C-alpha cells in the first residue's frame, strides 16, 4: 500500500492524514486510528486545516491546486461543529426548563386541583355540609349543560342545570342537597354530565377536586402529583387549580 502521496513536485503528504480527513482507511489499524481521532467536528476541523496548509505549502507553482472543493468541505465541517454546539445549548436549556417545571410542580403542594374523576364525597365540617369540588370540561361552547348526581344505590338525587357555558373547564358551585332541598347524607356520590354542543347531544367529561400532597419527578422531565384521594396523576391531567 502507498504510504505517501505526492503533492506537486516540492514534497509529500502523509497518507494517514488524508485517510483521517476522507474517512477512508487502508487497514484495521488505521480504521481504529480514524475512529479515535475523528470523533468530533473539532478534531476533523483541526486535521482538515493541517491538510490544507500542507497542500498549500507543497503545491506546484506552475499548476496551483483547486481550493474550491477544500473550502466547501471546510464550510461543511464548520456547519457540523455549529450543529454540535447548538445541540449542547439546547440540551442545557432543556435541563433548566425541566428543573423549573419540577419547582413549579412542588409549589402546588397543599393546593386543590381538578383532575378527571366522577366521585364526590359529602361530609360535614364545623357544623356545615361539605362536598368535594367538581366541574365539567366542555370541548366547545355548549347549551343545556346539566350535571346529574347519583347516590351509592344508583338513584338520581339531584340534577344541576348550568344552562349555557363556554368551552373549557367549568367549576360547579353547589350545596349538597337533593331535589327537594334536603341536605344529602354523608357518603360518596357519582356525577355525570350532558350538554348540547354544536347542535348535537354530548357527554362532557367530569372533573373532581383533590389536594396535592406530593410531587414525583419522572425520568422524562415531567412530574406526577400525589393527591389526597389516593390517586397519582400527571401534570397534563390537571384541568384547573382552585
DSSP per-residue string spanning 107-134: TTTT-EEEEE--EEEEEEETTEEEE--E
Q: Are strands 4-7 and 156-165 parallel, antiparallel or unpaired?
A: unpaired
Range(s) of the domain holding residue 65: 4-103
Q: How many CA atoms lie within 13 A of 112 on its CB side?
A: 10
Structural domain includes residue 69 = yes
Are residues 89 and 124 part of one domain? no
Tell me which residue has cell 500500500. Answer: 1
Are residues 93 and 147 part of one domain? no
Are residues 54 and 10 part of one domain? yes
Are residues 121 and 70 part of one domain? no
Distance CA 53, CA 56 (A): 5
Listed residue (191, 206, 203) closest to 239, CA to CA: 206
Structural domain includes residue 233 = no
What is the enclosing helix (H) or strand (E) of 4? strand 4-7
At 202, which CATH number? 2.60.40.4070
Are residues 29 and 53 part of one domain? yes
Tell me which residue has cell 357544623. Answer: 127
Total domains in the fold of the chain: 2
pLDDT of the chain, 242 residues: tens digit per residue: 444 444 444 444 455 555 554 555 544 444 444 444 445 666 776 777 777 777 777 777 777 666 676 677 667 777 877 787 888 888 777 776 766 776 777 888 999 999 999 999 999 776 667 899 999 999 999 999 999 999 999 999 999 999 999 999 999 999 999 999 999 999 999 999 999 999 999 999 999 999 999 998 887 778 899 999 999 999 889 999 98
Are residues 125 and 64 part of one domain? no
Q: Backbone phi, then psi, for 153, in 5-degree steps?
A: -90, 0
Largest CA distance in the chain: 108
The Cβ of residue 138 has, within 10 Å, a number of other Cβ atoms equal to: 21
Are residues 99 and 21 part of one domain? yes
Amino acid at each position: 500500500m502507498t504510504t505517501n502521496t505526492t503533492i506537486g513536485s516540492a514534497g509529500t503528504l502523509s497518507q494517514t492524514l488524508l485517510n483521517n480527513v476522507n474517512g477512508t482507511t487502508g487497514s484495521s489499524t488505521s480504521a481504529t486510528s480514524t475512529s479515535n481521532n475523528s470523533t468530533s467536528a473539532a478534531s476533523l476541523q483541526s486535521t482538515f486545516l493541517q491538510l490544507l496548509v500542507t497542500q498549500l505549502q507543497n503545491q506546484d507553482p506552475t499548476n496551483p491546486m483547486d481550493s474550491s472543493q477544500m473550502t466547501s468541505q471546510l464550510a461543511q465541517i464548520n456547519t457540523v461543529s455549529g450543529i454540535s454546539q447548538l445541540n449542547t445549548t439546547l440540551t442545557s436549556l432543556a435541563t433548566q426548563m425541566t428543573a423549573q417545571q419540577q419547582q413549579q410542580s412542588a409549589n402546588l403542594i397543599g393546593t386543590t386541583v381538578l383532575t378527571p374523576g366522577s366521585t364526590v364525597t359529602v361530609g360535614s365540617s364545623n357544623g356545615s355540609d361539605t362536598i368535594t369540588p367538581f366541574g365539567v370540561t366542555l370541548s366547545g361552547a355548549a347549551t343545556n349543560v346539566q350535571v346529574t348526581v347519583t347516590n351509592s344505590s344508583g338513584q338520581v338525587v339531584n340534577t344541576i342545570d348550568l344552562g349555557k357555558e363556554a368551552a373549557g373547564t367549568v367549576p360547579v358551585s353547589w350545596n349538597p342537597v337533593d331535589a327537594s332541598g334536603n341536605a344529602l347524607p354523608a357518603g360518596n356520590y357519582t356525577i355525570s354530565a350532558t350538554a348540547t354542543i354544536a347542535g348535537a347531544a354530548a357527554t362532557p367529561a367530569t372533573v373532581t377536586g383533590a389536594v396535592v400532597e406530593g410531587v414525583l419527578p419522572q425520568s422524562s422531565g415531567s412530574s406526577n402529583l400525589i393527591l389526597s384521594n389516593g390517586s397519582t396523576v400527571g401534570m397534563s391531567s390537571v384541568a384547573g387549580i382552585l
